[in-house]
Chain A
Amino acid sequence: MKEGREPRMRRLMIGVAATLLGAVLPVHGQKATERFIPLGQSPGLSQKATTIGEVADVDARAQTLTVVDKDRRLTVKITEQTQIWLDRSKVKQTTLTGSFSDLKSGRRVEVKYLDPDTRQIAEWVKVEVAQ
């Protein structure tokens, strides 16, 4: 009886350890270089796992951003972990780190979701600076 349980326990513990050690963590693209990729040009990501559109509304109190993408309106939560970048590649200047106050109505943005299925929390937002 004891011999039969030991391998099972061992397998269970290895499974638990796999979680602890990071073996089942979600894969992330390297965010560090992501900031320099112009809005809409992230391979395999832009417009597949992101939304590109104009800022329709910003709720500072609720810390939400509403983006109009063609005829769809999507509202997403901005958290302290959300990266906001000012994409100035169109004016041939470097990308800057932005903040919630840079999210203004009418600006063109790309939003990547932390939760791709439910699309409620933004992982990063690129804000296009064209002038």
Chain B
Amino acid sequence: MPGETRGRLPRRLVPAVLAGGLSLAACPSQPPVDPEAARIGRGRQIFFNETFGGNGRTCGTCHREERSFGIDPAFIATLPKNDPLFVAEFNPDLKQNFENPRLMREFGLILENLDGFDDLASRFTQRGVPHVLALRTSIDSPQGPRTGWSGDGAPADGSLRSFAVGAVIQHFTKRLDRVPGVDFRLPIDEELDALEAFQRSLGRERDLELPLPLRGTVASRGQAIFLDDRLGKCNICHRNAGANATLGGRDAGNANFNTGVESLPDQPARLTAELVPTDDGFGTPGNGTFNTPPLVEAADTGPFFHNNAIETIEGAVAFYNGQAFNNSPSGRFLASTDPNGVGIRLDATQIVAVAAFLRVINTLENIRASTELLGQAEAFSFFQRASAQALLRSAAKEAGDGVAVLRSGCLHPDAVGHLEESVRLIQDAERSLFGRRRLIREAIRAQESARTRLIGEGK
């Protein structure tokens, strides 16, 4: 979705922003900074600025705030040649077997040595960059935390806290020798604590409670299909459009499944002459399963699946209608429980309806996040303009995301109009010296108007 802007700041960022010294002037009425907010602020600073003595990359090199903490080819095309993302193109020590620049630029794929570092030339995977939103809701399972595309992304104890250690080793190194203290330094405990706190603060903190009283005819039908365990069957693995499954009538938490994505024909990266080995998913050797991501954030965080195989949310829904899914272990299992022996079989109108539902709930999340940021920005005093402006920019990006998500699906033009108005008001507020609070309140009202076009009372 080229052209749109994205971004989400943590809900507890206000004191953290102050702690980070972004305000123009010291303010005697500055609220006390609570330890958790300070930790989140510190984590943010590390996430976007700390290179750990490596090749120049930071966590934010791939997890771009302006792209909802992911990255995609359209955004990559806007980056300068010397961006650390392209380090394999200008660091001779990383020219071979570190990244595939063509696949990175064309499909947003990042090289990972998930099954070991003994054969760098032929043993690797090419994966997209997952967003890191709503992690509070999406990584816990009865067996422990599941991180990354296959749920086993972190070394050591496998936790989100340890994830950064593996990321530094894989992606930040100066040379392929990967010697700690030479090619990078490993994060210390305080940094791991801060990074975890920051990541857990991003996006939603709880799941939706479906069904929602949606106003759109098509989106409402999409929600009904989504929730129907005999038709869409989506809610079995994506309960309440989140990342947790209900299996055997019980909460299975965040689970792994083999849904056959690797069996898709004509995968974009494999249409090139580049080597793209099969990704075997969880474990070493892998068992072919991949981790379930949340869906609320899906519509503005494409491309989709671990290999960025599909560009649009409609295409991602349609995947479950195809042979790759229906012949997979998950698809065959669904068929075995169906009275007619069907896995998932939807017609085009039903696919579009489910996608419309996902677009609408994504926009509702955009509005929630933007309104929250506006409320935080409003609280800043005249002398804290720079801090307020940072929040306002993120609020405008969120609202802009909502515009793009609805418009791409030709949905709710009335809500789009109100959201566009809110973006204009936020931008005016950012520039204004004396009218900031009034403009913020007007922007919040415009977002409320947009929301009431999408959803009725009660939720």
**What residues make up the interface of A, taking CB atoms closer than 8 Å to B?**
10-15, 17-18, 20-38, 41-46, 48-49, 88-89, 92-95, 97
Contacts A13-B336, A24-B142, A89-B180; A33 near B170 (Cβ below 8 A): yes
Contact B153 A21 (CB under 8 A): no
Residues in B with CB closer than 8 Å to A93 are 177, 179
Kindly supply a per-residue 1/0 record for chain B positions 149-190, scoring 1 wherever the CB is within 8 Å of any chain A CB and 0 otherwise: 001111111110110011001100000011111100010010
Contacts A18-B255, A21-B329; A29 near B157 (Cβ below 8 A): yes
Contact B249 A11 (CB under 8 A): yes
Contact A37 B180 (CB under 8 A): yes
Contact B186 A29 (CB under 8 A): no
Residues in B with CB closer than 8 Å to A27 are 141, 143-146, 151-152, 158
In the assembled complex, the CB of B293 is this many whole angstroms from the nearest CB of chain A, namely 15
Contact B284 A32 (CB under 8 A): yes
Pick the contact of B256 from A22, A29, A30, A97 — CB < 8 Å? A22
Looking at chain B's contact residues, the main secondary structure is loop
Contact B245 A30 (CB under 8 A): no
Q: 14 additional contacts, CB 8 Å, given A13-B336, A24-B252?
A: A17-B247, A20-B329, A22-B257, A23-B245, A23-B255, A23-B256, A32-B155, A36-B178, A37-B156, A37-B165, A38-B186, A43-B165, A44-B156, A94-B177
Q: List 26 A-B contacts (CB under 8 A).
A: A10-B337, A13-B333, A14-B333, A14-B337, A17-B333, A21-B255, A22-B255, A22-B256, A23-B257, A25-B283, A27-B146, A28-B283, A28-B284, A30-B148, A34-B156, A36-B178, A36-B180, A37-B155, A37-B186, A43-B159, A43-B189, A44-B159, A44-B162, A89-B181, A92-B179, A95-B179
> Does B117 make an interface contact (CB < 8 A)?
yes
In the assembled complex, the CB of B154 is this many whole angstroms from the nearest CB of chain A, namely 6
> Does B362 make an interface contact (CB < 8 A)?
no
Give A13's nearest chain B residue, CB to CB.
B337
Instruction: Kindly state the interface size class of chain B when it binds its partner.
Output: 35 or more
Cβ < 8 Å to A, chain B residues 319-365: 329-330, 333, 336-337
> Does B384 make an interface contact (CB < 8 A)?
no
The CA-CA distance from A15 to B337 in the complex, in Å, is 11
Contact A43 B192 (CB under 8 A): yes
> Does B113 make an interface contact (CB < 8 A)?
yes
In the assembled complex, the CB of B338 is this many whole angstroms from the nearest CB of chain A, namely 10
Looking at chain A's contact residues, the main secondary structure is loop
In the assembled complex, the CB of A12 is this many whole angstroms from the nearest CB of chain B, namely 7
Contact B179 A89 (CB under 8 A): yes
> Does B287 make an interface contact (CB < 8 A)?
yes
Pick the contact of A42 from B118, B143, B155 — CB < 8 Å? B155
Pick the contact of B282 from A11, A25, A97 — CB < 8 Å? A25
> Does B116 make an interface contact (CB < 8 A)?
yes
> Does B2 make an interface contact (CB < 8 A)?
no
Contacts A28-B152, A29-B157; A41 near B186 (Cβ below 8 A): yes
Contact B165 A33 (CB under 8 A): yes
Contact B258 A21 (CB under 8 A): yes
In the assembled complex, the CB of B342 is this many whole angstroms from the nearest CB of chain A, namely 14
Residues in A with CB closer than 8 Å to B92 are none
Contact B247 A94 (CB under 8 A): no
Residues in B with CB closer than 8 Å to A37 are 155-156, 165, 169, 180, 186
Residues in B with CB closer than 8 Å to A34 are 155-156, 166
Residues in A with CB closer than 8 Å to B117 are 32, 35-36
The CA-CA distance from A14 to B233 in the complex, in Å, is 13
Contact A24 B143 (CB under 8 A): yes
Q: Which residue among A30, A34, A97 has the maximum number of chain B CB atoms within 10 Å of its CB?
A: A30
Contact B178 A94 (CB under 8 A): yes
Residues in B with CB closer than 8 Å to A88 are 179
> Does B114 make an interface contact (CB < 8 A)?
yes
Residues in A with CB closer than 8 Å to B337 are 10, 13-14, 17
Pick the contact of B247 from A14, A29, A38 — CB < 8 Å? A14
Give A42's nearest chain B residue, CB to CB.
B156
> Does B115 make an interface contact (CB < 8 A)?
yes
